[in-house]
Amino acid sequence: MRLVTPAIMRKIEEEADRRGLSYDTMMERAGQGLSSFLSDFASRNQLKEILFLCGSGNNAGDCFVAAQILASQFQITICMVSGVTKTRLAYAKFKRLTGMRILTDFRQIEQAVQEAQLIVDGVFGTGFHDTLSPQLQRLFALAEQKLCVAVDIPSGGNGLTGEASPGTIHCDYTVTFAAGKYGMMQEPLLTHCGDIVLIDMGIPEQIFEQMDYQMYMLAERDIHELLPARPLHGQKGMFGRLLCVAGSTRMPGAALLAGNAAIRCGVGTICLASVPDACHLMVANTPEAMILPLSHDENGTLTEAALPTLLDYAQQCSAVLIGCGLGQSESVKNLVCGLIEQLECPMILDADGLNVIASCIDILQKAKAPIIITPHPGEMSRLLNCSIEEVQKNRLNSARSLAQQYDITVVLKGAGTIIATQNRAYINTTGNSGMSKGGSGDVLAGMIGSLIAQGIDGESSARIAVYLHGLAGDVAAKAFSRRAMLPRDIIRQLPKIFAQMEQVSDG
């Protein structure tokens, strides 16, 4: 699904109108699409009544068009919760309404909501960025136990940031027009949307394509297309070699998780370069892995003395993962900077691989090979020298600015993980809060590294890994619960997921 910000959507509609697809026609098509969905939904649920909550903007106009179409089939109630419609176009649709009940008194509206079977929320559109009034919060609270469908976006939600005002209505479905709205893919607004249904308004694809930054929601069909088929007669040399520079005496598990995830994603060979303790743990648990034990300092972390050995070994590798559990000493910083400057194969920087360059991030400009970084919000805040709150308030701009400044692929983790490149971004919707445990990021980093090592480009590898990482997390949550699931449980689900994907491809 293509995604847009509210501002971009306004530009698209302006351009469509300039080219001859009038605002009136777009509203009619939106209303017709909404009415078709509502008719099917109400009929499936054996409902005879539909109540529309309408505001004062063009969102109400979409409702008026749909309501008039549905009036011959259902008992329709129009509730004008914000007074008289203020836009000329919506007011013209309002004046055409016949054969339905129209309420303007708020007490009567509250009573109607309490008695409603199906509520259609058309109070606010995608431009809302305020706080809901106490009156509307009370009204939406009355709708909580009802079937509810939002028009374009749940009222109270911010279509740019994904923020949700206190009292934002919870919906079973959100019917959105022309393109998905970016904010709907971010928490907390995502949880208010329910299932998202896209209605085509007939806006030419060329208008979307001329926007300077493209955005999309990750979907399973995209992953099937991106993931190459496994040759029946392949041998390990065909599937790449990943070098993991990870782990320390205090954090050997990070290296183990990353390495195991990488192996499960199909890389031909993997080598862990780490302190002896981490290497021994890897071999004991994963005999498929190779190891490159290296000396460490008194704190149990690698030092820059390992750089020549790593650079020499990396010459036979197709990708290098750097950072999981490395530690943050000055010597680790020098080691990471040396790798960034001198490696000639793609790099994935995660965890401490990012923390140690926060004070010298311009080192990324010296890289000879493509770089993918995988920060969580805390790591991103250090890279951007701002607060976590600033990162989270506008996750898209945070990821996009770093991707464009350094020409890298940025994977900003968290609910609604964002994959940003120079010209486009992808938003993920798989995953759950059970994945919010130390080690989940190491699993993702290993998955991305594995795919890149197999010859898949960085952007595609990030898209595949992020989606499947979240999907495996969802399967793990069903099996073990969100509370009890562990990062290693995510890895355990990967064989099932890949097996299902291969069955679909073979079929």
User: Within this chain, do residues 402 and 279 fall inside the same structural domain, yes or no?
Assistant: yes
- Three-state DSSP at 304 gives helix
Phi, psi of 428 (to 5 degrees): -100, 145
pLDDT at 504: 74
User: Within this chain, do residues 176 and 56 fall inside the same structural domain, yes or no?
Assistant: yes
User: Within this chain, do residues 23 and 70 fall inside the same structural domain, yes or no?
Assistant: yes
User: Within this chain, do residues 171 and 244 fall inside the same structural domain, yes or no?
Assistant: no
How far apart (Å, rounded) are the C-alpha atoms in residues 329 and 326?
Answer: 9
CATH code for the domain in which residue 362 is found: 3.40.1190.20
Strands lying side by side in the sheet with 214-217: 180-181, 2-4, 214-217, 424-427, 418-420, 409-412, 371-373, 347-349, 319-322, 241-245, 269-274, 290-293
Q: Is 231 a domain residue?
A: no
User: Within this chain, do residues 437 and 480 fall inside the same structural domain, yes or no?
Assistant: yes
User: Within this chain, do residues 251 and 127 fall inside the same structural domain, yes or no?
Assistant: no
- Three-state DSSP at 323 gives coil
Three-state secondary structure along 388-430?
HHHHHHCHHHHHHHHHHHHCCEEEECCCCCEEECCCEEEECCC
Q: Is 217 a domain residue?
A: no
In total, how many domains does the chain have? 2
Q: Is 432 a domain residue?
A: yes
How far apart (Å, rounded) are the C-alpha atoms in residues 397 and 400?
Answer: 5
pLDDT at 503: 82
Length of the chain: 507
How far apart (Å, rounded) are the C-alpha atoms in residues 492 and 488?
Answer: 6
8 Å CB contact between 348 and 321: yes
Phi, psi of 102 (to 5 degrees): -120, 125
User: Within this chain, do residues 151 and 250 fall inside the same structural domain, yes or no?
Assistant: no
User: Within this chain, do residues 140 and 257 fall inside the same structural domain, yes or no?
Assistant: no
**Burial class of residue 117 (count of CB atoms within 10 Å of its CB; 0-12, 13-18, 19+):** middle
User: How many CA atoms, within 13 angstroms, populate the side-chain half-sphere of residue 76?
Assistant: 25
User: Within this chain, do residues 183 and 108 fall inside the same structural domain, yes or no?
Assistant: yes
pTM listed for this prediction: 0.92
8 Å CB contact between 416 and 471: no
Q: Is 453 a domain residue?
A: yes
Q: Which residues of the chain have pLDDT under 70?
A: 505-507
pLDDT at 506: 63
Question: Could you tell me what percentage of the chain is helix, strand and coil, using 3-state DSSP and rounding each to the nearest 5?
Answer: 50, 15, 35
User: Within this chain, do residues 92 and 133 fall inside the same structural domain, yes or no?
Assistant: yes
Bridge-based pairing of strands 241-245 and 319-322 is parallel
Q: Is 232 a domain residue?
A: no
User: Within this chain, do residues 150 and 102 fall inside the same structural domain, yes or no?
Assistant: yes
**Burial class of residue 450 (count of CB atoms within 10 Å of its CB; 0-12, 13-18, 19+):** buried
Q: Is 199 a domain residue?
A: yes
Q: Is 233 a domain residue?
A: no
User: Within this chain, do residues 290 and 172 fall inside the same structural domain, yes or no?
Assistant: no
Token code pair at residue 211:
């926007």
Token code pair at residue 342:
């001198």
123 closest CA partner among 93, 145, 154, 77: 154
How far apart (Å, rounded) are the C-alpha atoms in residues 483 and 467?
Answer: 21
Three-state secondary structure along 61-110?
HHHHHHHHHHCCCCEEEEEECCCCCCCHHHHHHHHCCCCCEEECCHHHHH
CATH code for the domain in which residue 36 is found: 3.40.50.10260
**What is the greatest pairwise CA distance in the chain?**
82
∠ CA 213-403-240, nearest 5°, is 110
8 Å CB contact between 183 and 161: yes
Q: What is the DSSP code (8-state) at residue 440?
A: H
8 Å CB contact between 314 and 342: no
> Whole domain around residue 38: which residue ranges?
2-209
Q: Is 215 a domain residue?
A: no
